[in-house]
Chains A and B, each alone.
Chain A
Amino acid sequence: MNFDDAIRLTEVLLGFAFALQSIEHFTDCANEKYLFITRFILALALIFGFYTSWVLLLLLVIALAILRRFQGPYNGGADRMSLLILCCLSLSHFLPARHWQEVAFGYLALQLVLSYFISGWVKIINPDWRNGRALCDVFRFSAYPVSKALQHWSKSPRVLLVMSWSVMLFELLFPLSLLSQTSLVIALVIAASFHFANACLFGLNRFFWIWLAAYPSILWFQIRINLVN
């Protein structure tokens, strides 16, 4: 994937994720609602490539206003990834030299790799994750499972132990997928399935869409750093 295509695809996916997020706030109180209606319109402009540079700048201003409004991210990691993509895209548009534009977009790819690797690392150094207890706790008493029926999964420790190790190994080994184009595509499909499962089981739908929006950067980055021909 070349730089321009990767940037354009990221814009479309980010616009779609922002549009979905914004619609959810249309019934909020007055001030909040207008902020998100404006963001929805800008997200559509981003999807259709209408004055993209200025739209990105305005989206950044709105993102900062939303950060201030909620005194932090509304949806934790998903909002942080949204902001990161938005900042990297904006820099890719406004930085004067192609070299620096690529550095900004490459930073997004690097952070995407780290998002999996560090998540795997912080888990594997925790004994509760290594013996499956942590995932049992997630299902047993955390605020995340979307129904009471899912809490019964905590009574299947062997299954959860296998799931824990599968997640940790996949996250830790993710950087190695950059070694070939096929392995990267397979890794991204597995990663997207992982986010899809999290969205279904824990209601983290925003993570699915926003992480997907960062994938073009890694597909471009792999070719750019000449890891594959």
Chain B
Amino acid sequence: MILNTLKLLLPALIPSWNFFDVIAPSPRIEFSLLNSDTDTPTKWHAFRPRPAQLSFRTMLKRMLWNPFWNETLFMMSCAERIMKNPTQSHHSETEILNRIINETLKTKSNKPSSPATHLQFRLLTVQRDNEQLVTEINFESRIQALPKKLSTSGDA
């Protein structure tokens, strides 16, 4: 436990400061609501798609209050951890699943027309290949049962 904490602390005490040294493939999170744990996802939704425009006033407000974007950045870090080490990423996978579930609980528009009982997410990566942007599916999560509060509601 102490060794693990030290391992996490060390990069802060001796930082690398290599911000944006290379522009790596960029992760995107998509999720699908399912009707059972054996259901096959057919419709994928982008998680927190970016707004078309953002006013300068909103940008200023976000200087002080920016929880959703900061959470999205954390989820991107989790996605990068998964892509780096897919076999040892249970923590990151759970973090992303829980946060999508919380968002789905809060946002009615994400609820399916039929009562969903399970959820799965996938990670896409976007990168440039010469002049073209290439999108690849990189990871599919485990299928997670939804809490009763959401799975029994069933309204569209």
Give the docked Cα–Cα distance between A123 and B21 (Å): 5
Give the docked Cα–Cα distance between A81 and B60 (Å): 22
Given contacts A64-B5, A118-B18, A138-B23, whether A203 and B66 have CB atoms under 8 Å apart is yes
**A208: CB under 8 A from chain B?**
yes
Residue contact B91 to A24, C-beta cutoff 8 Å: no
Q: Which partner residue on chain B sits nearest A197 by CB separation?
A: B59
Contacts of B128 in A (CB 8 A): 137, 140-141
Q: Which partner residue on chain B sits nearest A111 by CB separation?
A: B15
Q: Which partner residue on chain A sits nearest B24 by CB separation?
A: A142
Total residues of chain A contacting the partner, CB 8 A: 53
Residue contact B70 to A74, C-beta cutoff 8 Å: yes
Q: Residue-by-residue, is A87-108 near B (CB-CB < 8 Å gives 1, otherwise 0)?
A: 1000000000000000000000
Within 8 A of A (CB), among B43-81: 50-54, 56, 59-60, 62-67, 69-70, 72-74, 76-77, 81
Residue contact B15 to A80, C-beta cutoff 8 Å: yes
**A143: CB under 8 A from chain B?**
yes
Give the docked Cα–Cα distance between A10 and B69 (Å): 26
Given contacts A146-B59, A203-B62, whether A138 and B13 have CB atoms under 8 Å apart is no
Which segment, of A45-53, A65-73, A177-185, faces chain B? A65-73
Give the docked Cα–Cα distance between A132 and B27 (Å): 22
**B133: CB under 8 A from chain A?**
yes
Residue contact A70 to B21, C-beta cutoff 8 Å: no
Contacts of B15 in A (CB 8 A): 77, 80-81, 84, 111, 114-115
Which DSSP category, helix, strand, loop or mixed, fits chain A's interface?
A: helix
Rounded to whole Å, the gap between the CB of A84 and the closest CB of chain B is: 5
Residue contact B12 to A128, C-beta cutoff 8 Å: no
Give the docked Cα–Cα distance between A149 and B51 (Å): 8
Give the docked Cα–Cα distance between A70 and B95 (Å): 9
Given contacts A68-B5, A134-B23, A203-B70, whether A84 and B52 have CB atoms under 8 Å apart is no
Given contacts A140-B133, A206-B70, whether A84 and B12 have CB atoms under 8 Å apart is yes
Contacts of A2 in B (CB 8 A): none
Residue contact A119 to B17, C-beta cutoff 8 Å: yes
**B92: CB under 8 A from chain A?**
yes
Contacts of A188 in B (CB 8 A): none
**A38: CB under 8 A from chain B?**
no
B→A interface (CB under 8 Å): 4-5, 8-9, 11-13, 15-23, 26-28, 50-54, 56, 59-60, 62-67, 69-70, 72-74, 76-77, 81, 91-92, 95, 98, 126-128, 133
